[in-house]
Amino acid sequence: MFFALWPEKEVQRGLAALAGALQRECGGRMMRASNIHLTLVFVGSVAAERLPDLKRLAAPVTAPSFELTIDALHYWGHNRIAWAGAREVPAALVALVAQLADRLRDAGFRIDERPYVPHITLVRDARRGPAERMPGRIAWRAADFALVESVRRDNHTAYQVLERWPLAA
């Protein structure tokens, strides 16, 4: 389970096209377009009886909507992931993540305590990082956030949005 920003179809298509270009350049396995997202807080395995707790904790979260400009490509060699991100991270995104993390931690959920790096995984098992700068930019208007479950289907992982909560206009 994880909380995420889930892109609208147009943004998802742009990110999928970028993933295809990165896969051709870097090798590896590109993310399925339907799975592309930006993780806010990773929760991990959650017992079924705790699912209502996650929804209850997310419901009162308040944060403004914001624009995220995807304009940078990166590579993590330690886990061979090529990813996209924003050179300038909106303060509203940082505040949203902090609010969710605090609420989850206070309710006894174990979350990743490493510094938050907003990233969109586009290629796994990449043999190398991208050589060039990102061509253009992708504008992503974050209007809501979601609780997402990772499920195995037909020998692949699919992400299923369980519920969404709006961000303030």
Q: What is the mean pLDDT of residues 107-121?
A: 93
pLDDT at 132 over 80: no
Average pLDDT over the chain reads 94
pLDDT digits (tens, 9 = 90+) for 36-92: 999 999 999 999 999 999 999 999 999 999 999 999 999 999 999 999 999 999 999
For the cut 90, the answer to whether the pLDDT of residue 160 exceeds it is yes
Closest among 40, 37, 45, 38 to 109, alpha carbons compared: 45
Q: How confident is the model at residue 153 (pLDDT cuts 50, 70, 90)?
A: confident
Regarding predicted confidence, which is higher, 135 or 28? 28
pTM score: 0.94
Q: What is the pLDDT at residue 51? A: 95
Dist. CA 62–CA 128, nearest whole Å: 39
What's the confidence (pLDDT) of residue 147? 98
Range of lowest pLDDT (9-13, 145-149, 153-157, 163-167): 153-157
Q: Please give the single-letter amino acid code of residue 69.
A: T
Report the C-alpha gap between 50 and 109 in whole angstroms: 10
* Secondary structure element (H or E) that encloses residue 25, with its range: helix 9-26
User: Is residue 2 over pLDDT 90?
Assistant: yes
Q: Which residue carries 């992708």 as its tokens?
A: 138
Q: How far apart are CA 167 and CA 142, in angstroms?
A: 8
Tell me: pLDDT of 20 over 90. Answer: yes
Strands (E), 10-137: 29-30, 38-42, 66-70, 72-76, 81-85, 120-124
